[in-house]
Amino acid sequence: MSDTNDERTPSKRTVGTEQKQGFGLVGKDAGFIPTGNANVMSEGSSQNGHDRGGRRFVARTLVPLLVLAAILGGGFFWWTKLRPVQVTVNGTLQSVTVGTTIDQIKQDENIQTASGNYVSVSGNVLAEGGGHPYSVTINDKDTPYDEASVYKVSGGERISIGDGGDRTEPYTTETVNQAPRLLMEGNVGAINYISQWGSTTVKDVLTGQESGEQADGTVYQQGQDCIVTVKDVQPAGNKRLVALTFDDGPSQYTSQYLEILKAKGVKATFFCLGKEVDANPSAAKAIVDAGSQICSHSYDHPDLRNSDAQTVLDQLTSSFSSIENATGVKTTAFRPPYGSFTQKTWLSTQGVATVSVRWDIDTEDWRLPGAGRIVSNATTGVKPGSIILMHDGGGNRDQDVEALPQIIDTLQSQGYTFVTISELLASDDSIPSDIASCDATMPESAVWPDEIGE
Ligand SMILES: [Zn+2]
Give the relative orientation of helices 34-44 and 49-57 as an angle to the nearest 10 degrees. Answer: 140
390 CA to centre of ligand 1 in angstroms: 9
294 CA to centre of ligand 1 in angstroms: 14
pLDDT for residue 143: 92
250 CA to centre of ligand 1 in angstroms: 11
248 CA to centre of ligand 1 in angstroms: 5
Mean pLDDT by 10 residues, the chain (454 residues): 42 41 41 43 49 72 80 78 90 93 92 96 96 94 90 94 95 96 94 97 97 96 97 98 98 98 98 98 98 98 96 98 98 96 96 98 97 98 98 96 98 98 98 96 96 93
Residue burial 74-88, b: 16+ Cβ < 10 Å; e: rest: eeeeeeeeeeebebe
286 CA to centre of ligand 1 in angstroms: 20
Which 3-state string (H, E, C) describes the chain? CHHHHHCCCHHHHHHHHHHHHHHHHHHHHCCCCHHHHHHHHHHHCCCCHHHHHHHHHHHHHHHHHHHHHHHHHHHHHHHHHHCEEEEEECCEEEEEECCCEHHHHHHHCCCCCCCCCEECCCCCEEECCCCCCEEEEECCEEECHHHHHCCECCCCCEEEEEECCCEECCEEEEEEEECCEEEEECCCCCEEEEEECCECEEEEEEEECCCCCEEEEEEEECCECEEEEEECCCCHHHCCEEEEEEEEECCCCHHHHHHHHHHHCCCCEEEECHHHHHHCHHHHHHHHHCCCEEEECCCCCCCHHHCCHHHHHHHHHHHHHHHHHHHCCCCCEECCHHHCCCHHHHHHCCCCCCEEECCCEECCHHHCCCHHHHHHHHHCCCCCCEEEEEECCCCCCHHHHHHHHHHHHHHHHCCCEECCHHHHHHCCCCCCHHHHCCCCCCCCCCCCCCEECC
The CA distances from residue 303 to 130, 190, 300, 336, 337, in Å, are 59, 18, 10, 8, 6
pLDDT for residue 51: 64
Alpha-carbon gap, residue 402 to 388, rounded angstroms: 16
Say how many C-beta atoms besides its own lie within 10 A of residue 143's C-beta. Answer: 17
381 CA to centre of ligand 1 in angstroms: 22
195 CA to centre of ligand 1 in angstroms: 25
Answer yes or no: are the C-beta atoms of 323 and 274 closer than 8 Å.
Answer: yes
Whether pTM exceeds 0.85:
no
Question: 396, exposed or middle or buried, with CB in 10 Å at 0-12, 13-18, 19+?
Answer: exposed
72 CA to centre of ligand 1 in angstroms: 100
257 CA to centre of ligand 1 in angstroms: 17
Torsional class of 31: left (φ above 0), alpha (ψ -120 to 50), beta (otherwise): left
Answer yes or no: are the C-beta atoms of 198 and 148 closer than 8 Å.
Answer: no
Answer yes or no: are the C-beta atoms of 164 and 133 closer than 8 Å.
Answer: yes
Answer yes or no: are the C-beta atoms of 202 and 110 closer than 8 Å.
Answer: no
338 CA to centre of ligand 1 in angstroms: 6
411 CA to centre of ligand 1 in angstroms: 24
Answer yes or no: are the C-beta atoms of 344 and 367 closer than 8 Å.
Answer: no
314 CA to centre of ligand 1 in angstroms: 17
22 CA to centre of ligand 1 in angstroms: 115
149 CA to centre of ligand 1 in angstroms: 75
260 CA to centre of ligand 1 in angstroms: 22
Sign of the dihedral defined by the CA atoms of residues 198, 350, 422, 406, in that order: negative
340 CA to centre of ligand 1 in angstroms: 10
